[in-house]
Amino acid sequence: MSASAYVLIAAAVDGELAGLRRRMNAWVEDEIGRRPVARGRLLGVPVRLMVTGPGTANTVQALTAVLEHIPPHLILLTGCAGAFRQSGLGIGDVGVADEEIDAHLGLEPMRAGDPPETLPFPVITVDGVPVKGRYPLSRGWAKTAVDALLRAADEVSGSSPAGIRVMRGPFLTVSTITATDRGAEARYRHHGACMEAMEGAGAAHVACRYGVDLLEVRAASNLVGRRRRDAWNLDLAFERATWAVLTILDRCGPFMLEKMP
């Protein structure tokens, strides 16, 4: 383990990292890629917090800047997401990605309204495996994180939210947010994802290119489908995502800077 090893915790908007920043010990602010980065420790683990901005373009630029400047040992992507109700997740529940799917990458389908067909060529090759839109994430980290969160959620403790559900599964990255129930049903039927967000595939591509593990942990602020902003709960999602990250740091901290098999 290098003396400079650290975990990069990234999210799309400031509110998703505010709770973590408040918990950091004596943090200082750097600038990387023309973005502020908070540097310090969380529960004894050296970390940097970065707001990437929403969407894949922002995420790719932000993470590339960090990886070219001072590469982290692990990228932990967090924040809120939409949950596919068909997966069994609800608002406030936590998802951990074991795969990232780029919903808009592919060939125009032969039938209007169908999802894109698989590309005939890879966009990147990971460990000899061609990736055409479904990015593999570290299953070791995904399992470790889920196990830690499930143990914490099962404990009778004031620090663990009551009734929280934790699920590991594929996440779907979109550029156009799903805004109808029919669209949500079609996307779930085709991809089988448990959560939808806008940054994961970009982060996964960069992580694969640079050979850095990516762990993605999100909390649901809404259900994927018809947009009803009055039914959203961003504050709860921010709180639950913060709880999830702190739980992982607390329970996995001793080996977070070691290589995950």
Say whether pLDDT at 260 is over 90.
Answer: no
Residue ranges and CATH numbers for the domains of the chain are: 78-255 (3.40.50.1580)
Residues 6+ positions from 250 with CB-CB distance below 8 Å: 43
For residue 247, the model assigns a pLDDT of: 97
Q: How many CB atoms are located within 10 Å of the residue 15 CB?
A: 16
For residue 8, the model assigns a pLDDT of: 98
Say whether pLDDT at 183 is over 80.
Answer: yes
Region 161-188 average pLDDT: 94
Q: How many CB atoms are located within 10 Å of the residue 76 CB?
A: 25
Lowest mean pLDDT among 78-82, 107-111, 217-221, 243-247: 107-111
Cα separation values, 72 from 8, 179, 184, 212, Å: 6, 35, 35, 8
The predicted-structure confidence for 90-116, as pLDDT tens digits, reads as follows 999 999 999 999 999 999 998 887 889
The predicted-structure confidence for 147-167, as pLDDT tens digits, reads as follows 999 999 887 455 556 679 999
Say whether pLDDT at 253 is over 90.
Answer: no
**Is the pTM here over 0.85, yes or no?**
yes
Q: What is the mean pLDDT of the chain?
A: 94
Q: Which helix (H) or strand (E) holds 182?
A: helix 181-191
The predicted-structure confidence for 17-60, as pLDDT tens digits, reads as follows 999 999 998 899 999 999 999 999 999 999 999 999 999 999 99
For residue 155, the model assigns a pLDDT of: 76
Q: Quick check: 38 and 29 in contact, CB under 8 A?
A: yes
